[in-house]
Structure 1
Amino acid sequence: MPTGDLETRAERLREVVETPRRAYLPLPDTQVIERPGWLQLLTPSLRQGGLNEVAYSALDEKEADAVIDETLEQYRRLGLRFRWTVGPDSRPADLAERLERRGMRRNETLGMIRGTSVPASAEGDITVEQVDEHTVEEYSRTMGEGWGMDPEPITAFNRLVLSHPGRRHRLFLARYRGVPAGTAGLVTFERSVYLLGGVVLPAFRGRGLYRALVTERLGYAAGRGIPFATIHARASTSAPLLERFGFETLCRFPIFTND
Structure 2
Amino acid sequence: MDEKTVLATFDREMRQDVRPDGPGARVERVGGVVRQVGAEGHGWSAVLWSDLTEETADRAIAEQVEYFASLGREFEWKHYAHDRPGDLGERLSAAGLTPEPPESLMVAEVGELSTDAALPDGIELRAVTDEAGVDLMADVHERVFGTDATRLRRAVMDRLAEDPDTIAALVAMDGDEPVCSARIEFNPGTQFAGLWGGGTLPRWRGKGIYRALIARRAQIAAARGYRYLQVDASDDSAPILRRLGFARLSVTTPYVYQP
Q: TM-score range by the shorter chain?
A: 0.7 to 0.9
Contact 1:114–1:246 under 8 Å retained in 2: yes
Letter in 1 for 2:231: I
Deviant stretches of 4+, over 6 Å = none
Does structure 1 residue 85 correspond to structure 2 residue 78?
A: yes
Residue deviations 1:74-100 (CA, integer Å, cap 9, x gap)? 556766553222235633221111123
Distance 2:186 2:67 in 1: 31
Counterpart among 105, 121, 130 of residue 117 in structure 2: 121
Cα distance between partner residues in 2 of 1:81 and 1:127: 38
CA distance in 2, matches of 1:243, 1:114: 9
Following superposition, the deviation at residue 171 of structure 1 comes to: 1.5
TM-score (norm 1): 0.79
Hey, what's the Cα distance between the residues in 2 that align with 1:23 and 1:32? 6
How many angstroms apart in 1 are the aligned matches of 2:172 and 2:50?
35
Give the AA of the match of 1:199.
Answer: G
For 2:229, give the aligned amino acid: A
Correspondence for 1:212: 212
Query: In the alignment, residue 251 of structure 2 is paired with which amino acid?
Result: R
> Does the 8 A contact of 2:29 with 2:35 survive in 1?
yes
The correspondence of residues 58-207 of structure 1 with structure 2, limited to 5 A, is: 58-72=51-65, 74-75=67-68, 80-87=73-80, 90-101=83-94, 102=96, 104-116=98-110, 117-123=113-119, 124-133=121-130, 134-165=132-163, 167-189=165-187, 190-207=190-207
Aligned residue among 44, 56, 73 for 2:49: 56
Shift of 1:169: 1.7
On the 8 A contact 1:143/1:199 being kept in 2, the answer is yes
Q: Distance in 1 between matches of 2:238 and 2:123?
A: 22
**Structure 1 contact 39–54 (Cα < 8 Å) conserved:** yes
Mark the CA change 1:109 to 1:137 in structure 2 (over 3 Å): closer, same or farther: closer
Preserved CA contact (<8 Å) 2:75 2:257: yes
Deviation digits for residues 187-208 of structure 1 (CA, Å, limit 9, x no counterpart):
2244332212222234543333
Contact 1:82 1:258 in 2 (8 A): yes
Q: 1:42 aligns with which of 28, 33, 37?
A: 37
Report the Cα distance in structure 1 between the residues aligned to 2:118 and 2:70, rounded to whole angstroms: 46
Equivalent residue number for residue 244 of structure 2: 245
User: What TM-score does the superposition give when structure 2 sets the normalisation length?
Assistant: 0.79
Q: Which amino acid in structure 2 is aligned with residue 34 of structure 1?
A: R
* Partners of 2:117 and 2:211 within 8 A in 1: no
Pair 192,74 (structure 1): closer, same or farther in 2 beyond 3 Å: closer
Structure 1, unpaired ranges of 5+: none
Identity %, equivalent residues: 25
Aligned-residue CA RMSD (Å): 3.0
CA-CA distance at 1:254 after TM superposition: 3.1
The question of whether the paired residues in 2 share the 8 Å contact of 1:40 and 1:53 is answered with yes
> 1:250 deviation in Å?
2.3
Provide Cα deviations, 1:105-148, integer angstroms capped at 9, x if missing partner: 24333222223232423322332232101522322333344444
Aligned counterparts, 1:11-50, within 5 A: 11-21=5-15, 22=18, 24-28=20-24, 30-43=25-38, 44-46=40-42
Could you give the per-residue CA deviations for residues 31-87 of structure 1, whole angstroms, max 9, x where no partner exists? Answer: 4322343121233512xxx52211112224333223323433555676655322223
Tell me: CA distance 1:81–1:216, structure 2 relative to 1, closer, same or farther (3 Å): farther
Closer, same or farther: CA 247–178 of 1 in aligned 2, 3 Å: farther
